[in-house]
């Protein structure tokens, strides 16, 4: 429990914040001490969602009965188990804790719409591996949060099923594509959330909504049961209220999965243990000069500089580094990601699941019209773009060439991480922008300028809150990028940074 | 003999407008949105075509900046992390049962997904 600064009486009742404000660490502590039950915690979240969701629109659906049943089951597990015999206390952290799930991750018996009309009414027949893991840890996964359709977008305005606004300013976007996850965490409508990140979709909304957002290294977390957007880039990751919470949630998500051949059978470190005694003393932090550009919003620039100063004051050694192929990353991404998306989204053809057009008299029209009626404009644009760069006569010039430039981008990071422990950069060029402000697709893509390169390289990266803009009081985060499969080291840096505030 | 219409091979995959070479320095990118959408099995309204054409020309033009990068002797990166030969035992395992697999079907007949006739000349 957080004790209030003005009261020294120490009475828990006076000091107690609302249960829904808790993060994983605080919730786990209160549950372990018996201060409240999971049913009480879950009910507090449900009440909060009922009160706030009409205004914020973070959730698309919430299975209230399912949530309370899972919470009751968690309470029974807890009451029956001796804390001394609890296997792996790290997993106990999620027992009975409500986690919001981005609406492209399959949870058996729940809808999974990807915020698309094409999947309206779809009910998942199985659990994604990350959900299996969370359920095994006793987490309560009952609420499904909004997103840009098929995770394509940076504002959640591309959702076909609902509007989500920023809890810090309801006239602004929550970011995207994991905008519902960020709004639910930032608006205290969950204890923590799952997002997915292909080119920045966890980190940018985390920055916009004052959350911690971790994109794990490619392959660290299983993608089985997660609707595919760009298979060589997609990762599931935690969106939380603190760095410690991100470590606790990642612990349950990470690891080899025989259902996803891109997850290596490498040991998963104890991430919470890695945070103990976290310090920036002597830590080498690289500042990539290509990321500190003229186009940066002045307030984002000021807060990024403040983050650099905070690291320096905490004893970090700051080093200028160069990632010379940064300027090509966005172009590579907008070839590779749509190419993979166009192939992945071919499965939505109106045959086995999803929307089927009633205007179809033959199979060609069944495909073309079901897809026309089901997909929104951004998804259509990316399917067309992806089909184009993969088509005969263009493949080598676009897709083939992009894969090679991707190698150069990856090498930039490898060279940088030979010299530094982590990189510090802005998350996005601006704070949360106004709803409807960005209309041109290419301008919207620029949101991912600083998050795309590390996605292409397969590194892990985290967005951590740094402060608020002066006039509009909008939250802004800073990005730390870590070497691949060194989430332990990255989280340690992020934790020390968070503690230094 | 039954003729099977192979829907993804019945039309050429080469987009029209290929006279505009990607490397020749011409300004206007050679994307024909209406045609590529057809390749992607995506019906577009005239309005959508009019909106998407300039938008995608812009995007194509933007991504062409990678044409100036020297990629000689550079191998491609297909994944964020390359894993070679992710193998498992070749054994029979349970999968979704038929009813579960059919539960989200937009149309079914008995134990199967129902579709318009695909094979020409066959009894439907």
ipTM: 0.92
Contact A245, A206 (CB under 8 A): no
Token pair for A214:
């971790």
Q: Please tell me if the domain spanning A24-263 has the same topology as the one spanning A284-330+401-499.
A: yes
Query: pLDDT band for position B86 (50/70/90)?
Result: confident
Which one is catalytic: A37, A38, A90, A102?
A: A102
Q: Crossing angle for the helix pair A329-344 and B46-63, nearest 10 degrees?
A: 140
Task: Map A205-266 to HEC letters.
Answer: HHHHCCCEEEECCCCCECCCCECCCCCCCCEEEEEECCHHHHHHHHHHHECCECCECCCCCC
Evaluate if residue B26 carries a pLDDT over 80: no
Does B54 contact A at CB distance below 8 Å? no
Helix (H, G, I), strand (E, B), or coil: what is residue A394? Answer: coil
Mean pLDDT, rounded, for B108-116: 92
Query: Which positions in chain A touch B86 (Cβ < 8 Å)?
Result: 261-262
DSSP line for A455-481? HHHT-EEEEEEEEE-TTT--EEEEEEE
Alpha helices in A354-481 (DSSP H): 363-374, 377-390, 401-417, 441-445, 452-457
B115–A261 C-beta distance less than 8 A: no
- From first to last of its 501 residues, chain A has per-residue pLDDT tens of 333 344 444 444 444 589 999 999 999 999 999 999 999 999 999 999 999 999 999 999 999 999 999 999 999 999 985 444 444 444 589 999 999 999 999 999 999 999 999 999 999 999 999 999 999 999 999 999 999 999 999 999 999 999 999 999 999 999 999 999 999 999 999 999 999 999 999 999 999 999 999 999 999 999 999 999 999 999 999 999 999 999 999 999 999 999 999 999 999 999 999 999 999 999 999 999 999 988 899 999 999 999 999 999 999 999 999 999 999 999 999 999 999 999 999 999 999 999 999 998 899 999 999 999 999 999 999 999 999 999 988 999 999 999 999 999 999 999 999 999 999 999 999 999 999 999 999 999 999 999 999 999 999 999 999 999 999 999 999 999 999 999 999 999 999 999 998
Q: Are A239 and A185 in contact (CB under 8 A)?
A: yes
Confidence of residue B24 (pLDDT cuts 50, 70, 90): very low
Alpha-carbon distance values, A497 to A12, A48, A271, A366, A424 (Å): 29, 30, 16, 54, 11
Q: Which two three-digit tokens encode residue A434?
A: 């106004």
**Is A177 assigned a catalytic role?**
yes
CATH number given to A284-330+401-499: 3.90.1300.10
Q: Which of A262, A372, A394 sits opposite B42 (nearest CB)?
A: A372
CATH topology of domain A24-263: Amidase signature (AS) enzymes (3.90.1300)
**Exposure b/e, A246-265, CB count within 10 A at least 16 = b:** bbbbbbbbbbebeebebbee
Q: Which two tokens stand for residue A56?
A: 């914020």
Domain segments of chain A as ranges: 24-263, 284-330+401-499
- Does B90 contact chain A (CB < 8 Å)? no
Q: Which of B106, B111, B118, B120 to mutate to test the interface with A (most CBs of A within 10 A)?
A: B106
Count residue pairs from A and B with Cβ separation < 8 A.
205
**How long a stretch of residues is chain A?**
501
* pLDDT of amino acid B21: 42
Could you tell me if B100 lies within 8 Å of chain A, comparing CB atoms? yes
The single-letter DSSP state of residue A100 is: E
- Are A232 and B56 inside 8 Å of each other by CB? no
Q: ∠ at Cα A355 (A373, B116), nearest 5°?
A: 95
CB contact set of A237 (below 8 Å; sequence gap of 6+) = A194, A195, A196, A197, A202, A213, A214, A215, A216, A221, A250, A253
Predicted pLDDT at A11: 46
Tell me if the pTM is above 0.80. yes
Please report the beta strands in A20-122, taking only residues with DSSP state E, as ranges in sequence order: 59-62, 98-102
Helix (H), strand (E) at residue A179:
helix A179-186
- For residue A37, indicate whether it is catalytic: no
Residue count (chain B): 124
pLDDT of residue A370: 97
Q: Does residue B122 carry a pLDDT above 70?
A: no
Test the A interface: residue of B59, B87, B99 with most A CBs within 10 Å: B59
Q: Is B88 exposed, middle or buried (0-12, 13-18, 19+ CB in 10 A)?
A: exposed
φ, ψ of residue A480 to 5 degrees: the values are: -105, 130
In chain A, the residue whose alpha carbon lies closest to the alpha carbon of B18 is A393
| pLDDT band with cut points at 50, 70 and 90 for residue B123 | low
Q: Which of residues 418-477 of A touch B (CB under 8 A)?
A: 440-442, 445, 455-458
With beta carbons under 8 A apart, name residues in chain B contacting A362: 116-117
If you search the block for the tokens 């969950």, which residue do you land on? A190
SS3 B113: strand
Asked if A248 contacts A24 with a C-beta cutoff of 8 angstroms, the reply is yes
């Amino acid at each position: 429990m957080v004790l209030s600064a003005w009261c020294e009486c120490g009475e828990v009742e006076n000091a107690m914040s609302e249960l829904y404000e808790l993060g994983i660490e605080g919730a786990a502590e209160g549950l372990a001490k018996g201060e409240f039950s999971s049913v009480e915690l879950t009910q507090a979240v449900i009440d909060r969602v009922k009160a706030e969701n009409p205004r914020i629109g973070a959730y698309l659906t919430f299975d209230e009965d399912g949530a309370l049943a899972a919470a009751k089951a968690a309470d029974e597990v807890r009451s029956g188990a001796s804390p001394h015999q609890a296997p792996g206390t790290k997993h106990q952290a999620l027992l009975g804790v409500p986690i919001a799930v981005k609406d492209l991750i399959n949870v058996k018996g729940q809808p999974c719409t990807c915020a698309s009309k094409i999947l309206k009414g779809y009910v998942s027949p199985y659990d994604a591996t990350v959900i299996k893991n969370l359920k095994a840890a006793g987490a309560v996964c009952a609420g499904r949060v909004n997103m840009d359709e098929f995770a394509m977008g940076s504002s959640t305005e591309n959702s076909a099923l609902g509007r989500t606004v920023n809890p810090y300013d309801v006239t602004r976007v929550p970011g995207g594509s994991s905008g519902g996850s960020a709004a639910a965490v930032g608006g205290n409508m969950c204890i923590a959330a799952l997002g997915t990140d292909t080119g920045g979709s966890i980190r940018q909304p985390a920055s916009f909504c004052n959350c911690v957002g971790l994109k794990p290294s490619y392959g660290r977390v299983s993608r089985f049961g997660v609707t595919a957007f760009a298979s060589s880039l997609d990762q599931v990751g935690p969106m939380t209220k603190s760095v410690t919470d991100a470590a606790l949630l990642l612990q349950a998500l990470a690891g080899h999965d025989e259902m996803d051949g891109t997850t290596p059978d490498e040991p998963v470190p104890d991430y919470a243990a890695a945070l103990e005694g976290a310090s920036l003393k002597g830590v080498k932090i690289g500042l990539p000069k290509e990321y500190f550009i003229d186009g940066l919003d002045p307030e984002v620039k000021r807060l990024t500089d403040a983050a650099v100063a905070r690291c320096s004051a905490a004893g970090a050694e700051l080093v200028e580094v160069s990632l010379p192929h940064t300027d090509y990353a966005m172009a590579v991404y907008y070839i590779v990601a749509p190419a993979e998306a166009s192939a992945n989204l071919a499965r939505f053809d109106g045959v086995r699941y999803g929307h089927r057009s009633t205007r179809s008299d033959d199979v060609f029209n069944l495909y073309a019209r079901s897809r026309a009626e089901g997909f929104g404009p951004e998804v259509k644009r990316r399917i067309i773009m992806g089909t184009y760069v993969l088509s005969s006569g263009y493949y080598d010039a676009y897709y083939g060439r992009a894969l090679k430039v991707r190698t150069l981008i990856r090498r930039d990071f490898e060279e940088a991480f030979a010299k530094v422990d982590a990189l510090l950069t802005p998350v996005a060029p601006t704070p949360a922008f106004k709803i409807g402000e960005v209309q041109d697709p290419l301008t919207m893509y620029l949101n991912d300028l600083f998050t795309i390169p590390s996605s292409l390289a397969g590194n892990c990266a985290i967005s951590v809150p740094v402060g608020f803009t002066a006039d509009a009081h909008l939250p802004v985060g800073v990005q730390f990028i870590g070497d691949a499969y060194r989430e332990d080291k990255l989280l340690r840096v992020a934790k020390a940074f968070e503690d230094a505030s | 003999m039954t003729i099977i219409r192979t829907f993804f091979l019945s039309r050429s995959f080469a987009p029209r407008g290929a006279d505009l070479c990607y490397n020749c320095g011409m300004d206007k990118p050679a994307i024909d949105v209406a045609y590529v959408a057809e390749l992607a099995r995506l019906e577009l309204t005239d309005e959508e075509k009019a909106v998407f054409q300039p938008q995608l020309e812009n995007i194509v033009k933007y991504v062409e900046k990678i044409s100036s990068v020297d990629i000689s002797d550079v191998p491609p990166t297909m994944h964020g992390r390359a894993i070679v030969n992710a193998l498992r035992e070749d054994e029979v395992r349970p999968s979704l049962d038929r009813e579960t697999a059919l539960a989200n079907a937009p149309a079914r007949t008995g134990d199967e997904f129902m579709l318009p006739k695909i094979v020409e000349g066959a009894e439907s």
